Amino acid sequence: MLLSPLDFYNIIVENDIDFVTGVPDSLLKELCACIDDKFPKDRHIIAANEGNAIAIAVGYHLATGKIPLVYMQNSGFGNAINPLLSLCDPEIYSIPMIVIIGWRGEPGTPDAIQHVKDGRIQLDLLKVLELPYEIISKNDENIKEIMHHAVTRASKESRPIILLIRKGVFSQYDNKLPKKETQLMKREEALIIILESLNEKSIIVATTGKTSREIYEIRNMLNQPHQSSFLTVGSMGHCSSIALGISLAQPDKEIFCVDGDGALIMHMGSMATIGMTKPKNFKHILINNKVHESVGGQNTAAASIDLPNLARSNGYNTILTPASASSFSVI
């Protein structure tokens, strides 16, 4: 029997956990939807990246003495290693927390290629990092005991405890908010316009998730070759830096970086480097739907950011904000 996200939420609350932060994950999307629905907005923070989430949790513990909960996908676990080892470790500040990790690429479970090695080394990595862990599987009947033991150990030893969640653990959460309809240009419309405007000297670098998948599909539909595309299937948040490196090495070619708001926010410091370098052949196209669409549609912080002014303050020379296919085509 699948685990109800609401039942798991109740287990979290029963263990006196009242603060949650993290980065959305497709394996945890039903749980994330429940947490977002049930926790007050100032007690559930969707972080910019996984290291950010660990640091927010540290701050909450320092201020309250309570044990926070952090969630993430294992592909982003690398972002969390620095603060887990150099901040939370028992040999440093000894910060207790529960860290829930969605286990993509578990051996024996089919998954996208970028998750395979992450999944294969996940247990060995946790052992090398000396991070205690429990595994939660589909049809586990002792979830309450696992969570209680994890919270008790985190408190007693004052350290992070990992809960590794296998694929297919959670059932659907039925109280998810309906998607808001918008009259703005759709991502696929924008991608078709971009791909139809490319010439033989154009290179396109696309962000992680649906953008890369759709570029691949649209190029097939348009009978375009793929050799001038770089699809950043992993390394979320790094496509603009990849595009910058290409633009500096090949100044005679036009480089289009197609980014997403969640990815941009994850490693926003890259904008400062791009603005400082000012490559004339670099076009940074941000498709801002204000959600982490590939992993469940959770909100990003993009709704509260003045992105054009952010780009301007980072040194971008020209900022354009088309909202329709017709205005984007003219640009």
CATH code of the domain in which 273 resides: 3.40.50.970
In degrees, rounded to 5, the angle at the alpha carbon of residue 51 between the alpha carbons of residues 49 and 55 is 115
| 43 and 153, same domain (yes or no) | yes
Amino acid 200: pLDDT? 82
Q: What is the pLDDT of residue 179?
A: 62
- Assigned domain for 145 exists: yes
| One domain, residues 144 and 279 | no
Is the same domain home to 63 and 144?
yes
Q: Nearest to residue 25, comparing CAs of 170, 158, 146, 214?
A: 170
Residues 146 and 206 grouped into a single domain: no
What pLDDT does 120 receive?
98
Q: Which helix (H) or strand (E) holds 71?
A: strand 69-73
Residue 172 lies in a domain: no
Question: pLDDT at position 178, please?
Answer: 62
Same domain (yes/no): 148, 195 = no
| Residue 135 lies in domain | 5-165
Total domains in the fold of the chain = 2
| Residue 176 included in any domain | no
Q: Within a domain: residue 178?
A: no
180 part of a folded domain = no
Asked if 259 and 139 sit in the same domain, the reply is: no
Give per-10-residue mean pLDDT for the chain (331 aa): 95 98 95 96 97 99 99 98 99 99 97 96 99 96 97 99 98 75 80 91 93 95 94 96 98 96 95 98 92 71 90 96 76 60
End-to-end CA distance of the chain: 53
Residue 47: count of CB within 10 angstroms of its CB: 23
Determine which helix (DSSP H) or strand (DSSP E) holds 169, and give its type and residue range.
none
- Residue 325 and residue 201 share a domain: yes
Residue 55 domain-assigned (yes or no): yes
Residue-level pLDDT at 293: 66
DSSP symbol at 138: T
**H-assigned helices in 39-142:** 50-64, 77-83, 113-128
User: Does one domain contain both 146 and 283?
Assistant: no
> Do 257 and 158 share a domain, yes or no?
no
